Structure formats: C-alpha cells, structure tokens
Structure 1
C-alpha cells in the first residue's frame, strides 16, 4: 500500500515538473539560432530546479544567461585562443570520471601563470563548456577537484576573479556542478574563504566540500565519489597526476571540431557579429529578454 502511494507521488511529481518545463518553454516564446539549440527541455529543467521550480524566477535566470551567452559567446571560444592559460595545467579536464560518470575538472590555483582576468575567465568557461560537451549520455553534472599544492597568498586568486568564477558557474551553469572538493587547503586559506563564501547561493555552497587527509570523514566522503585508483596522489589516491600540455592541446583541438559541428560552424563559420552568414541573431524580444538587463 505504501509503495503504491510513494510511486503515485513520484509520478505526480514528474508530471508536475514536466508541466513546469512546458510552461517555461511557452513563456520564452519562439527561440532561434543558438538560443534554440541551448534551450532543450533538459536545460529548462536545470534552470527550474535551480530556482525551486518557480517558473518566473527560472525564466528570469535563463533570460539573463541567454543575454550573457549572446555577449560572451562561449560556444565560439577555441583552444588556441586560451592555450596560454593552460600551459601549467592550472585547470584541465581529467582523464577519468567519478563513480557517477561525471566529467572531472582539476583546478590547481597554485599553478596560476597569468594576470589577465578576462582571459582567465575565457579559459575557465571554455573548459566548463568542454566538460559539459563530454558528459556521458544521461549525465548532466561535473565534479571539481581543487588541489592546493603550491598555493600561497603570493599566487592567490584575486577576490574579483573568485567572485566572477562563482557568478558564472551558479548563474549561467545552474545545476552543472555536482560537487567541488577542496583538498587540504592551508590554514591561511580560511581568511580568503570567509570572503568568497558570501558570493555563493545556498545550493552552490552546499556542494563545496573540504577534505583534509587527517579527517577520516572527509576522506571517506571523497572516496564515495571517486575510485582511489583513479585519484591522483595529490588528492589522496594512487594515480600519477601527469598533465601534458601538448597532448591536452591535441585533445582540445579535436573537441573543437566536434563543437563546431554541433553549433553548425563547420558549414557556416561565425561572422564578425558572432553569427553565421545564414543565421540571424535573435532580437531581444525573440528570446524574451527583459528590457533591462544560485549551481
């Protein structure tokens, strides 16, 4: 009896959510170009989930993202434009997945090698897009592993950079982050964290986990997400962390070809305004953007 009741509740919840997706889709109006490619039902569901299934709030969030994508053009970034940022392997896609099949990004703030914030953000967005593009079928989220080896106040990521990273991740890639493990951060990092955490919405904040080698509970939590045979020794595993910039660049160049094909750039390269010659940039009202303009 109880099983039947629970099953019925689950079915009703699924139907309600599907109704919300349809409602959000209708409220956006007719989409075209890249906006239409971007706004799949699965995408709309993520925005609704990020806003606790409030259609109006999800719509506002999605409209802001569409406006951001029209300006930032993340789908146009190619590896050769940001390769210099990746020379030290400060951020890169790992060659393994977590236990749930999620793409893994490894971040090593101690390997910072540039000072231009705009290009750093461009590099990060490129890798987020690449991580999403390489997600297995049926998987929507990625995991982050943050290694603090070599981190110090001298090479610390500026607060402005951290704030922009959080803004982009939680406002324009909602429900894409499953978990972020901060592995063995030094004590001095706590002062930086006290500032940065206020930029996070509650949902993003709950996904950030601190792991200390001497804290058994935090180590066990991390092992519940990762096979120790895959984890590099820098994260308490047994694998060797070996970032080869040339090999990684070759992989990214291959992925760039696939990405171009997905967005249709292989047939119609983007023009000066970021759109192909045959693709008309949607007017603000076409994507239901407002008159003026939580992961």
Structure 2
C-alpha cells in the first residue's frame, strides 16, 4: 500500500479525516491532560521521536488502520508502543547504534536490508539458518531486531509506506527453531510497527515447516497473515524482485551481504558531532519548538468544524515541514551512522553537514 491508497495520508474520506482528528485529541489527552505540557512530557518526547522524519499523520494512521478505525483501541495501542519504546530504550539504541548491540550477531548476515522490489518497496532478508537458539542472550538478539526495524524506516520513499520481507528457510533445523524469538518478532511487528509490512515471501521452506507454521499462524493478525506467501523456489522470487537486488545465496545477481565496519575517520567525525553540546542543545530547542507549534496547529485543526479547516490545514502542513526539517538537523546529535550509512543506502548528508559546520566553527575560533 502507498500514501495514495484509500485510508492513507493522501486518500482519506471525510469520515476518516474526522476519526483522525478524534484520534489526535484523544491521544494528546492520554499523554497529558494539559496539552501545553505534552511535548516536554516523557511520553510526548517519545511520540515525537517516534515520528522522526515522517509526517505525524502518516504514522498515526498506521495505528488507526491496525485497529479498524476505532479511536479508543488505537490510542491504547499507541500508548502501549510509547511505553514499550521507553522500556526498551529505543532512543538510546538509536543514539549508540551498532555500539549498543552485539556486533558479531549484527554483522552475521542473518538479517539485512537490500534493494527494493518491483513495486518500489524496500526489501529485508531474513535467513533463518543464521539464528541459532541460545547462541546469544535473547535480549541481545531482540536489541538487534529493534535496531534493524528502526533503520528499516529510512528505506521507504514516498509514496511507499510498506516493506517486503524475504524469509529464507533453507537448511533450517531444530537448533534454529526459537519460538520465543519468533513471538517477540511478531509482537514487535504487529503492535509496535503496525502496517509496515506489505508482503512477506517464505522461500525454501522444508516439508516439516508446516507443523511450525500451524503454531506461528495463531499469533498472527489475520491482516498480517494475508500478506504472507509461500513461494516454491528461488526462481519464483524473481516474479517480485529484480534478480539484480536478490543476493547470490538466493540465486540472484547481487553480492551477498557483507558488513562494512566503522573506520577511524568515521569515529572521529561522530565524536566531533556528539561532543558539540551547544549545537545539540540548539537543535533540541528548535525541534522542541517545532513540535509545540505542530501540536498547537493540530489542536486548532482538530477542533475546527469539518469543511472549514482549509486555513488550518495549510498552517499545519507548514508546521509538519518545519518539524521534519528540525528533526533532520537534530538527527546527527541523537543517532549514529551504521553499515547502511557507510554503504550509501542511508544518506550521510545530515552527518556531513553537521561535521562540516562544526569543523568550520572550530577553525574560525582557533584563528581568532
């Protein structure tokens, strides 16, 4: 699905617009009874960090669609997600990146992002044989998965809002079967990253997998289950994905995943950025102010009678653009580069701009 499909940001009917307004009002109230205090509250900060560089409406609509446009369940679901993000320290995980996970596991190639499918959705590959039950502490594996899913958000390009997951079951045995891990993955995807899956293709499944599948499918939301398809062989993958972005281990033409480690120069650049406390405070202040402005315009829009909100929608669009811009300026201070930045799959432009600005300031200071 894309931003142009029914029920998505660019294609809402009047009833859906009204429900989105009601959702905003109810969510703001659930976070803090005093709207002016939402942005600076713990859950409010978590909410705007979760929006990241995306349009907030695009994010919230995922939760509304996941709960069949029922406002109260959607609010409860979002509140659970904000608390879950707090408990897992998602902001710290993004801040420290690969330094916060087991690098051996992260670089193993058992899951990675690579290319796009034929309809433009980013593709993630999961090779089940790479996961060995008990090889690493479960918390370590779960942290890797959360970082993997958070980074996956950077690969979607408007109008696409979903991704494709290739689950390779080749050479899987009992040592790879880990129901605790599978259940965590399903819970995270369905409840905390809803409506992000467009398609999942299961390839190389052995005949014995039918027993495992009978257990797993009970944990799946019917909508999620409907997006999972079993393909007979790797050749059938080519009906969905160009061979040039299928790894060689699945009989494609793309080089297999190979982790690119951080260099000394990378470490120096990131240290320079993260040591810029004044720049970080300024970026945080500007983003916080942008969040307050966005929230104020959203409240005004949500309380305006349907059909009379054209002026409010215009101001809200400007506020959303400003929110995105200030987050991108803040991002180098609160996140870090990863393998996907070093390979060019995620742009390094904001990190480069921050480093160049700080370096120029330091040179000017030293010359005076």
CA distance in structure 2 between the partners assigned to 1:15 and 1:197 by the alignment: 35
Which of 81, 86, 110 is the equivalent residue of 2:129?
A: 110
The answer (yes or no) to whether the contact 2:66–2:194 under 8 Å persists in 1 is yes
- Which residue of the partner structure matches residue 34 of structure 1? 46
- Residue 24 (structure 2) aligns with: 25
- Other-structure match for 1:53: 69
CA distance in 2: counterparts of 1:70 and 1:36, whole angstroms? 13
Q: Once the two structures are superposed, what CA deviation does each residue of 1:41-63 show, in whole Å capped at 9, x if it has no partner?
A: 11111111111111111111111
Q: Which has the higher contact order (CA 8 A, sep 6+)?
A: 1
Normalising by structure 2, we get a TM-score of 0.60
Shift of 1:12: 9.2
Name the counterpart of 1:238: 252
- Per-residue displacement from partner, 1:202-243 (whole Å, max 9, x unpaired)? 1111111111129x9xx2xx44431233223444x5314412
Supply the distance in 2 between the matched residues of 1:200 and 1:70 (Cα, whole angstroms).
25
Uncovered stretches (5+) of structure 1, i.e. residues with no partner: 1-6, 269-274, 280-295
Partner of residue 229, structure 2: 209
Q: Tell me how many residue pairs correspond in the alignment.
A: 246
> How large is the Cα RMSD of the aligned pairs?
3.2
d(CA) in 1 for partners of 2:128 and 2:57? 35
User: Do residues 227 (structure 1) and 246 (structure 2) align?
Assistant: no
CA distance in 1: counterparts of 2:155 and 2:258, whole angstroms: 19
Q: Matched residue of 1:92: which SS?
A: strand
2-side partners of 1:13 and 1:238: how far apart?
39
With normalisation by structure 1, the TM-score equals 0.74
Unaligned segments of structure 2, at least 5 residues: 1-5, 29-34, 40-44, 289-368
The structure with the largest helix share of the pair is: 2
The 8 Å contact of residues 170 and 206 in structure 2, kept in 1 or not, is answered as no
The CA distance in 2 between the partners of 1:99 and 1:213, in whole Å, is 18
Say if 1:265 and 1:121 are closer, same or farther in 2 by CA, change over 3 A.
farther
* Rg larger for: 2
- The question of whether the paired residues in 2 share the 8 Å contact of 1:166 and 1:200 is answered with yes
